[in-house]
């Protein structure tokens, strides 16, 4: 494990002043909770530590004063570029369900298969993508992310157009039909993986680097704006696609989607490249990355481990077969996939990450399966788009409330209140199963999902900030990739459920399973909060509230 952290150690050697600052931050953080209550941590603050901190504080304050505030123009460039990338991804996420349900109107099978392929690719390669972001320069990630994402979606949209213009292809040439469906699934999965790389770099890396040296509220505000942009795209992209489908045609929607991806990639790249070129902190962070990447492109850590393993193998066993087996096992255990997961599992924020991932084991969102089900129920596409827009609007409200709540009760407790808030609203969705009136049942389902976004997105922001605050810089990409991989694994399981239970009449079973997963998530997060704070509620305040009426009577 120590060898896996060699990159971090090199980075610290390059920046001794950063080492002092991080040591002070870690010492104070491990001795106190976010609410300022002593937790009895493992770090003992000695007199020498206090002296070191006092000597280092003027240096830190001086360095913070010299850090120029982020340029508002460049921050706007960052937000606009992020908007352009997320808009295309959200258009595809909503429209693909409508495309597949139109190709096979009597079943959710195609929609479930696509969701399964997409989730499986993210689950298998999410950690690898995150580790690649960690070990690549910002400029390289920027180019590959935007070009691959937009052109993958462009190919997928083109294949959809072919199927829509040749609607009888399923009966006349079934093999060609299946080949095009496979190509759509593959292109969509590649586009989603590319979008994942961009999200990790922007949300887990750039916002943290840009906010360094500034008050903590800067990072909180940037997180909220980034999430708000994503939700705005969830609000308007489905509405735009829904109106295209309802008042023009599916073909017009596919054409608009393809044109958007072709046109937006160039503007998005110029904006993001301008942000990188204009913010010195990003260039400095990129320089440190280059120094950590070996010139031959290989990972020195793996080759060192292999050499040591082969030497030990020859001295102990002395057989080539066992040496070959050990070398293969060594390559597997030190692959980017395994290393990323080991890095993730040793983080202190594992339980919050797992709790967030469990919320993705659901059909209770305006995703592929629920959109296809609502369309089967006879709900017009523009109504589904408006419902999804309302859901996103409530999510945007959550991003506005999060900084206010965070400033009062800290990140940890904000997550606790928000996840139980989400669970409370999802009770309405579970109750809709037993409502006989179809219109009322569908209304309860859509309403419960929409209102639950208030808690969901505040919880998402809480977990994101917990990871930003507690994960080392050199591990952010790997942890972010594994987190997305874990979330995609949960989506994959829900997609498999959709394949197994593909009859729309049995959608209630998917709803019930989703609610059970959404119940386990707050329980796990509550366990984490109790482990950190040693309590969930301030019992003395509750006792005062109970005793007060007695005194007044």
Report which DSSP code applies to 42. S
User: Can you tell me whether residue 518 is helix, strand or coil?
Assistant: helix
Q: List pLDDT tens digits, range 237-268.
A: 877 877 777 777 778 888 888 888 888 888 99
- pLDDT at residue 30, rounded to an integer: 39
- Report CA-CA distances (Å) from 206 to 54, 75, 112: 30, 11, 34
- pLDDT at residue 422, rounded to an integer: 94
HSE on the CB side for 167, CA within 13 Å?
A: 9
- pLDDT at residue 423, rounded to an integer: 95
- pLDDT at residue 61, rounded to an integer: 41
Please state the φ and ψ torsions of residue 32, each to the nearest 5 degrees.
-140, 155
Give the helix ranges, DSSP H, for 35-71: 47-66
Q: In the predicted model, what is the mean pLDDT of the chain?
A: 77
* Residue closest to 60 by CA, chosen among 32, 25, 27: 25
Q: Please identify every stretch of the chain with a pLDDT value under 50, giving residue numbers as ranges.
A: 1-7, 9-66, 295-316, 551-553
- pLDDT at residue 232, rounded to an integer: 85
Distance, in Å, from the CA atom of 11 to the CA atom of 4, rounded to the nearest integer, reads 13
Q: Which residues pair with 38 in a beta bridge?
A: 32
- pLDDT at residue 25, rounded to an integer: 40
Residues 186, 202: contact at Cβ < 8 Å?
A: no
Burial 193-202 (b: 16+ CB within 10 A, else e): bbbbbbbbbb
- pLDDT at residue 124, rounded to an integer: 83
Q: Which positions ≥6 away from 111 have C-beta within 8 Å?
A: 96, 97, 100, 101, 368, 369, 371, 372, 498
Residues 458, 466: contact at Cβ < 8 Å?
A: no
Q: Is-above-0.75 flag for pTM?
A: no
Q: Which residues pair with 334 in a beta bridge?
A: none
- pLDDT at residue 18, rounded to an integer: 43
Residues 34, 311: contact at Cβ < 8 Å?
A: no
């Amino acid at each position: 494990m120590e060898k896996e952290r060699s990159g971090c150690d090199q980075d610290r050697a390059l920046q001794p002043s950063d080492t002092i600052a991080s040591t002070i931050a870690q010492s104070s953080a491990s001795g106190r909770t976010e609410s300022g209550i002593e937790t009895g941590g493992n770090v003992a603050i000695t007199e020498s530590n206090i002296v070191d901190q006092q000597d280092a504080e003027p240096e830190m304050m001086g360095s913070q004063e010299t850090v120029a505030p982020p340029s508002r123009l460049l921050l706007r460039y960052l937000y606009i570029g992020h908007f352009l990338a997320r808009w295309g991804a959200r258009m595809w996420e909503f429209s693909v369900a409508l495309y597949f349900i139109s190709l096979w109107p009597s079943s959710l099978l195609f929609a479930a298969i696509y969701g399964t392929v997409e989730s499986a690719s993210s689950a298998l390669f999410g950690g690898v993508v995150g580790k690649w972001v960690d070990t690549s320069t910002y400029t390289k990630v920027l180019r590959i992310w935007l070009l691959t994402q937009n052109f993958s979606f462009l190919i997928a949209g083109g294949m959809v157009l072919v199927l829509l213009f040749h609607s009888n292809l399923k009966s006349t040439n079934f093999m060609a039909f299946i080949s095009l469906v496979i190509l759509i699934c593959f292109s969509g999965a590649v586009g989603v993986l590319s979008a994942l790389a961009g999200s990790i770099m922007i949300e887990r890396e750039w916002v943290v680097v840009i906010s360094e040296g500034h008050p903590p509220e800067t990072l909180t505000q940037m997180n909220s704006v980034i999430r708000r942009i994503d939700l705005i795209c969830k609000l308007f992209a489905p509405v735009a696609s829904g109106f295209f489908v309802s008042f023009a045609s599916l073909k017009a929607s596919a054409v608009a989607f393809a044109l958007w991806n072709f046109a937006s990639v160039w503007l998005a790249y110029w904006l993001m490249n301008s942000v990188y070129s204009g913010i010195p902190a990003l260039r400095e962070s990129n320089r440190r990355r280059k120094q950590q990447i070996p010139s031959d492109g290989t990972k020195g850590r793996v080759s060192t481990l292999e050499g040591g393993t082969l030497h030990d193998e020859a001295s102990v066993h002395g057989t080539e077969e066992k040496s070959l087996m050990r070398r293969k096992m060594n390559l597997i255990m030190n692959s980017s996939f395994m290393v990323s997961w080991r890095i993730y599992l040793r983080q202190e924020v594992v339980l919050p990450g797992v709790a967030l991932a469990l919320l993705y084991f659901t059909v209770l969102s305006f995703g592929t399966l629920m959109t296809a089900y609502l369309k089967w129920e006879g709900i017009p596409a523009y109504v589904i788009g408006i419902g999804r827009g309302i859901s996103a609007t409530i999510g945007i409200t959550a991003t506005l409330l999060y900084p206010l709540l965070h400033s009062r009760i800290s990140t940890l407790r904000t997550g606790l209140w928000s996840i139980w808030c989400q669970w409370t609203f999802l009770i309405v969705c579970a109750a809709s199963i037993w409502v006989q009136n179809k219109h009322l049942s569908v209304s309860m389902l859509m309403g419960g999902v929409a209102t639950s976004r208030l808690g969901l997105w505040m919880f998402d922001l809480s977990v994101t900030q917990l990871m930003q605050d507690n994960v080392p810089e050199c591990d952010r990409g790997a942890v972010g990739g594994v987190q997305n991989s874990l979330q995609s694994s949960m989506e994959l399981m829900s997609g498999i459920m959709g394949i197994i239970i593909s009859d729309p009449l049995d959608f209630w079973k998917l709803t019930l399973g989703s609610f059970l997963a959404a119940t386990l998530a707050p329980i796990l997060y509550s366990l984490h909060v109790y482990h950190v704070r040693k309590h969930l509620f301030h019992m003395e305040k509750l006792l005062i509230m109970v005793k007060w009426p007695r005194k007044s009577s």
